[in-house]
Chain A
Amino acid sequence: MPIIKLDHVSKTIKQRQILDDICLDLNQQLVYGFAGANGSGKTMLLKSIIGFVHPNSGSIEVMGQKIRKDVLFSPKIGFSFGTEGLLPILDGKTNLQLILSAESLPSPAKKIEAMLELVGLDPHDRRKVKSYSLGMQERLSLGCALINDQPIIILDEPTNGIDKKGQEFLVTLIKDLKKRKKTVLLTSHDEKFLALVSDQIYEISEGRIIE
């Protein structure tokens, strides 16, 4: 049974077709890459799966829950959309603290520090996020996606603003996520990167999937 199922999903915004009758079955514990030009609908597709965007027609099911019907957003997905959602006036640690759901953990602070170290940020850095470089913000956003250890991870353009060393780190991270039996969905303009990490790649053009 697919872990994510899209059934004839369409979305129009201001009379422009963003997603056009998309049908997709994604199985668990695989890495899916989505490639396509700017404005092709890649990001909108990922946001629809989470529940950020309400399709005009069709249905989306994530781990048996219908998005926008059973739940508003899927609670099973950790996601990163670049620097979106980061609070610029707070430091990295506080940004993660607001996202961390397992408050019953005996030491959530340790988990946050461990995550910051994992993504290559200094846990003792008290600077506000707005003074971070783009690459640092991307790393923090990655930490936000991973902090709650959810079964599905969605990464939108994770290679943005990342140097070569950062890319190598990403490749290792995604392979590690796969070993930990996560399902990963990611978009990128870098087709070499996608080919390196993905089990299957979908090409999106004008809101349609071209396999």
Chain B
Amino acid sequence: MDFRNNRLLNLHWRMLLYFLYCSRFRIGLLVFIELIISINSKGDWLMQGIVMSITPKTVPMLWFFIIIYSQLMVGDSSRKMVKIFFPHHIRFSLTNLIISVFLTNTFITCISGLVILLKCSPPFAIYTFFVIWTLTISFSLLSLFIKPIYLHLFSIILLICVTYLDWPKFLSYTMISRFQAAKASFNYFTLGIILLTVVIFTNIKIKNFDFYQ
């Protein structure tokens, strides 16, 4: 199969390149690399979060940054891709464009996931990868209908709740100090429900969507 003549593959590849070319992504990647190089060599410290027996005084910033990094990198790019790029290339189905969004989001999430995997145990790293992936995809799809700034604010409030209230549990487990491998499997189910809900919501709302700048 000639890649150049396969428009679908070409589309997905172009979308990824378009995203990588975005200055926000390149700057964010540099910041991320700089941060990771500067941290302690002990892997557990990376996602330690708060120590359970002590009342947290501040949100653990490194954990916070790693969880929210992918969303910050996505920003409004999904919104632009669907609202502006898609209508001008309408021979591709909307499903294929959403797949492109999934692929670029997965790529970004892999950056965080790889770092966590290098520094932390595989069960924890895999679980955290899926949490970040679900949050990033949900952010991308919801940003079609809700301004990204409001979604960022919601994410920040959620992470603060996780720090001080230990809720929601599926997010709380992204801190090593709170992670329980045995109970994590139930949270995978929760992640699946969240993703399915967002995808169904998108399918319903997209029919009344306005595709313009």
Contacts and interface: CB of A to CB of B under 8 A. Distances in A.
A75 interface: yes
Interface residues of A, number: 28
A103 B9 CA distance: 13
Interface in A52-81: 52-54, 68, 72-73, 75, 81
A75 B88 contact: no
Contact of B90 (A73, A94, A100): A73
A187 to B, nearest CB: 15
Q: Tell which of B94, B207, B210 has the most Cβ of chain A within 10 Å.
A: B210
A82 to B, nearest CB: 11
A3 B49 CA distance: 63
Given A53-B212, A89-B21, A108-B5, A144 B14 contact: no
A101 interface: yes
Summarize B's interface: helix, strand, loop or mixed. Answer: helix
B21 A99 contact: no
B85 A87 contact: yes
B89 A89 contact: no
Contact of A54 (B5, B91, B208, B213): B208
B213 A84 contact: yes
B107 interface: no
A167 interface: no
A13 B7 CA distance: 35
A84 B88 contact: yes
B207 A87 contact: no
A148 B17 CA distance: 25
Q: Tell which of B5, B6, B7, B90 has the most Cβ of chain A within 10 Å.
A: B90
Interface of A: 13, 47, 50-54, 68, 72-73, 75, 81, 84-87, 89-90, 94, 97-101, 103, 108, 144, 148
Interface of B: 5-7, 10-11, 14, 17-18, 21, 84-85, 87-91, 94, 207-213
